[in-house]
Amino acid sequence: MGIQELTLESLNVGEFISEKVAEIKSVVGEGVAISALSGGVDSSAVTLLAHRALGKRLKTYFIDNGLMREDEPEYIVSLFKRLGVDVELIDARAEFFKELKGLTDPEDKRNAITHVFYKVVFGNLVKDSGARYLLQGTNYTDIEETIAGIKRQHNILEQLGIDTEKQYGYKVIEPLIQLRKQGVREVAKALGLPLEIYARPPFPGPALSARIIGEVTPEKITIVRAATKITEQELESSGAFQYLAVLHEDRVTGIRDGKRNFGLQIEIRCWESKDAKTGSPTRLSYETLEKLADRITREIPGVVSVTYNITKKPPSTIEAV
Ligand code: XMP
């Protein structure tokens, strides 16, 4: 695929950081660049690399797409403020929900998110700020899966033949493209990011929309957001690679207050994996599973069924959409 992987064994973190800082400086020159911060380890590392390279000439934006976890936008903005990086919060919730309306096919949903993110939101931000470059945290696994046709990762553009300058009006810089997650974590740690960021479980670019089967609506996001919070609270100490909750489209019959309730289903997934390329379900204790089911059905109105996914990747993928 034309890009050479830099394995963990051959990564010299100090040298890598100096090289990437120099590269960003030389590409951007005297101009302005934009960083698309999502708060994941990839975009956090890129933001700090670019901040080292460009200082005030870097504009960092956090896009609130309405699909984030609870309190995520405020949490990330304040965390970066403590690190000396000003982040502007952009409210793009309405734009994303408008574009997602009526879409049920997974790839259509992913394409819609890519379109709003790069064309609508960043197209305008770039125009307004005079920037010619967008920095983003694409990693080696993202390109591999998109090219293999498994999933269109939200951040893959040039590798799919998209000329970002022509289509969106800016060039994309991807300093982490040769690294897998473990390598990115090492770089993030060396850059001085706190443990809560460099050790953070992965979270997909399309955010909670990757965890809703069928149409994405604000109401469904509220439900999957509540299930995500409980799942993360209960599984944080599991040491697993990633854990998540999925909201299903099909309903099942349940009982509430002694009456029939044709209610919602939440599926829990918890993964053991090194690089997200393959994975297997964590052997969670029955106690943990029961606690999850109890809390989710008790705390989230309308949910009457909780299941645990016991499939490996492949044939499953980590996210449901
Ligand atoms: P899948 O679901 O393809 O996920 O097995 C592999 C890893 O990638 C994350 N993921 C994404 N990350 N943009 C991202 O930045 C995306 O569009 C995306 N989709 C999935 C997923 O959470 C897992 O860690």
Checking if the pLDDT of 87 tops 90, the result is yes
pLDDT tens for residues 30-82? Answer: 999 999 999 999 999 999 999 999 999 999 999 999 999 999 999 999 999 99
pTM equals 0.91
Q: Ligand 1: does its nearest atom lie under 6 Å from the Cβ of 137?
A: no
Least Cα distance to 280 among 304, 314, 246, 255 occurs for 314
Checking if the pLDDT of 1 tops 70, the result is no
Q: What is the token pair recorded at 241?
A: 């690679």
Checking if the pLDDT of 148 tops 80, the result is no
Among protein residues, the one whose CA lies closest to atom 16 of ligand 1 = 153
Instruction: Please give the distance, rounded to the nearest whole angstrom, from the Cα atom of residue 204 to the centre of ligand 1.
Output: 5
Q: Which residues are 256's β-sheet partners?
A: 259
Rg (CA), the chain: 20
Q: How many C-beta atoms surround the C-beta of residue 22 within 10 A?
A: 11
Q: How confident is the model at residue 285 (pLDDT cuts 50, 70, 90)?
A: very high
Instruction: Please give the distance, rounded to the nearest whole angstrom, from the Cα atom of residue 203 to the centre of ligand 1.
Output: 7
Checking if the pLDDT of 207 tops 80, the result is yes
Task: Give the whole-angstrom CA distance, residue 163 versus residue 165.
Answer: 6
pLDDT tens for residues 224-236? Answer: 999 999 999 999 9
Per cent of the chain over pLDDT 90 is: 84
Q: Ligand 1: does its nearest atom lie under 6 Å from the Cβ of 317?
A: yes
Where does residue 2 rank: exposed (0-12), middle (13-18), buried (19+ CB within 10 A)? exposed
Checking if the pLDDT of 156 tops 80, the result is no
Q: What is the mean pLDDT of the chain?
A: 94
Cα separations in angstroms, 156 against 73, 79, 112, 159: 23, 27, 13, 6
Instruction: Please give the distance, rounded to the nearest whole angstrom, from the Cα atom of residue 241 to the centre of ligand 1.
Output: 12
Cβ contact 103:215 at 8 Å: yes
Q: Ligand 1: does its nearest atom lie under 6 Å from the Cβ of 183?
A: no
Amino acid at 267: E
Which of the given ranges, 5-9, 120-124, 141-145, has the highest pLDDT on average? Answer: 5-9
Q: Ligand 1: does its nearest atom lie under 6 Å from the Cβ of 265?
A: no
Atom of ligand 1 at shortest distance to CA of 155?
13
Tell the residue number behind the tokens 């609270």, with chain if given: 233
Among protein residues, the one whose CA lies closest to atom 3 of ligand 1 = 317
pLDDT tens for residues 245-256? Answer: 999 999 999 999
Which H/E stretch holds residue 77?
helix 72-82
Atom of ligand 1 at shortest distance to CA of 206?
17
